[in-house]
Amino acid sequence: MIKPERIGHVVIKVRDLGRSRAFYTEVLGMEVMNDSSQAGLLFLANHGRDHHELALLEVGLQATQPDGRALGLAHIAFRLEKAEQLEAAYDELKDRGVPISFTVNHGITDSIYFLDPDGHELEVYCDNPPAVFRDMPNSYLGMEKLKFATADPGLPDVLRRMGITVGTPNG
């Protein structure tokens, strides 16, 4: 059995490397670890901890839009340390006109899901203290919107649009 230490990095395909570079460095604050744009690649990391956590692979402007019901990667999540950072991230995303997919208190996390310029879904989240989810029947399946984002869709709204019927396991 192979037992990796952790996931090392993710590579995503993008239409325009320059546009994606600006998004990931200016909106998400990632650091360029290696610019191999001559080969259509850019390697990024948070806090310079690794040689890269995310690589962007340019595939051209004619690339088709990801289909939400097709097999493949659903989203990439970026962890924040504190709830205050999550609310500040929400304000930053709104100020920059970044499309918010939905917000949710999963129980174990408070999360904001949003789209990058190519339609890849991303998440910023912060872990919740155990007192927040201790009494939930399933601390992974909370469905409530975040209190500071009531104007944006919640997870049940998104699931309904996708034709997925889900009960409310936590109330």
- Domain boundaries along the sequence of the chain: 10-58, 76-161
pLDDT of amino acid 105: 95
pLDDT tens figures, 86-99: 999 999 999 999 99
Per-residue burial over 5-23, b if 16 or more Cβ lie within 10 Å, else e, is eeeeeeebebbbbebbbeb
Q: How many C-beta atoms lie closer than 10 Å to residue 72's C-beta?
A: 7
147 exposure class (CB count in 10 Å sphere: 0-12, 13-18, 19+): exposed
Region 75-102: what's the mean pLDDT? 96
pLDDT tens figures, 57-72: 999 999 998 776 788 8
Q: Do domains 10-58 and 76-161 have the same CATH topology?
A: yes
Q: Look up the CATH architecture of domain 76-161.
A: Roll (3.10)
The winner for highest mean pLDDT among 62-66, 106-110, 141-145 is: 106-110
- For residue 127, the surrounding DSSP H or E stretch is strand 121-127
Determine the distance from the C-alpha atom of residue 120 to the mean position of all C-alpha atoms in its chain, rounded to a whole number: 8
pTM greater than 0.85:
yes
Which CATH number fits the domain 10-58, given the four candidates 2.60.120.260, 3.30.565.10, 3.10.180.10, 3.90.1150.10?
3.10.180.10
Average pLDDT for the chain? 92
Q: Which of 77, 67, 156 is nearest to 112 (CA)?
A: 77
Whether pLDDT at 171 is above 50: no
Measured over the CA atoms of residue 88, residue 91, residue 96 and residue 100, the dihedral's sign is: positive
